[in-house]
Structure 1
Amino acid sequence: MKIVKLLFLLIALGNISIAQTKDSLAFSGNPLFKGWYADPEAIVFENKYWIYPTFSAPYNQQVFMDAFSSPDLVNWTRHARIIDTASIKWAKRAMWAPSVIFTNNAYYLFFGANDIQSNNEYGGIGVAIAEKPEGPFRDHLGKPLIDRFYNGAQPIDQFVFRDDDGQFYLYYGGWKHCNIAKLKNDFTGFIAFDDGKIFKEITPENYVEGPFVFKRNGKYYFMWSEGGWTGPDYSVAYAISDSPMGPFRRIGKILQQDPMIATGAGHHSVITVPGKDKYYIVYHRRPLSEKDGNSRETCIENLYFDEAGLIKPVVLTNKGVSKQQL
């Protein structure tokens, strides 16, 4: 009898173990994949989730980008070196913060390179093109799309937004300034606004860098990063407007460090699940064990809204999100 009871106990424990294993596989976990990756651009292409991050390393080593794809937010495939400085001849270092969009039967990847500090240096925001979301991407223009400072904005941290009417907007800028510009449909340049200007400043309160825009229920949600990217105070705040041009008045922070989990949570993007009112925020953060500014990893959490359409504060987790197939 004791042997039978012991056998049943072992079977029961085995079932618990199996259930825990299945449960753990049903969630993404954080980080989503191994390696130091930051500034993740997350989007849906070809019925898969894609993440295009910065390879987080010293600037002279930051000369290529990988991409990651997943059918369900849990299982990720790495696509190595989808773009590098060998294919972008004018870029020599500090390739970062990609933004990718599909149009004209091609994939366009916007990126920053060279970390220019003045108009006397060559670099800025470039555009690359590929036939597949995993690349390889090649230079679209043979030169930067933006290579100068306008309205005090360093030409970095670009994000491309397509409005419902088909107009493409470029949001970008470091050094606490954010510009917006209307892109030509072939991404070879810009369309002037009615007043003749190309770049308009739309900087909200406390803006530092990393703009991102999405649309929900007719409202434009403009998000950005605050604080210093190497410090624990890095965070994400947002505003809401009836227009892609703003005005954007800061509402408050929705993503920041949790001293029990990680620091430096910021520079994010948002996944909108096609056909559903379901959203995820993909961002980078620094493990508590790490002090190096480049030790950043890509993570994901659920993004929720209240009845008024305001974004609820994001809860940092090690569990991540549950499996979600497209």
Structure 2
Amino acid sequence: MPIRIPDQLPARITLENEGVAVMDSTRAARQDIRPLQFGLLNLMPNKERTETQFARLIASSPLQIDLTLVRVSDHQSKNTPEDYLQSFYSTWEEVREKKFDGFVVTGAPIAHMPFEDVRYWPEMLEIMDWTQTNVHHTMFICWGAQAALHHFHGVRRFRMPTKAFGVYRHRLVNRRSPLLRGMSDSPMVPVSRYNDIDRTSIPGDLDILIDNDEVGICMLEDRKYRAAYMLNHLEYDNRSLADEYHRDLSAGLNPEPPANLFPNGDTSIDPENRWRSHAHLLFQNWINEIYQTTPYDLNKVGTGEW
């Protein structure tokens, strides 16, 4: 089954050109099934690129999924026109009464700020608590993962001496987790972050799923709060790290090239995507677990009645 997104969303053309199955509203209405309801809280500046990356992965499932694009209410975007946001996005205030089977909270480029200094932090607190009553399972990404770990568990983060930047080979820690089903022993994962989390502050009821000795924990599972925390970026396309590097280079920041990304270290060559299959596999596993456990009656999501 394909994913259903707004008919005029620019990401639609990109996905269709890649052969991703996308369904229009008319066709979806004729199918006598309950589509899974997914939301994407997009905190990234480049909304279009980020929504395309996550829609691509969510669409890899054989299930029909309705994707709602969400933005925080208390934030004026500097990089995305307001008419684009009004056309394709709902504010959290507009969806707070809705229920979702799955929900993704992206990263945000505010790693240098304490959580409490972020302008929309009070709304983020409400959203994170809201996932416990209105969402069956949540995937928190990068800054979103650090924020949720801080809020739900008091996990501490710290500034690393140097930015973790590149594609690193990781190891699977808890192979029994259904989220890792079918993954190879040492997946390559894109990493781009200045902060890491303090292992000594992680409570015992959190399971580390994917780890790396050099750049830190990659992914944790939280059964109590029905959440997964992905600290890195399997959703990235092959140019994401390269474009970030060239952007910082043009800004005179003198960055180191991303590790293990460019063939033979040649930054003029387009990098290969060596993590795509694991990204699709992770999201297929996640969606399958949601499908197996979410209540048929969407109103029962978050009530504990299933």
Select the structure of larger CA radius of gyration.
1
TM-score, normalised to structure 2, is: 0.30
Normalized per residue, the structure richer in helix is: 2
TM-score, normalised to structure 1, is: 0.28
Normalized per residue, the structure richer in strand is: 1
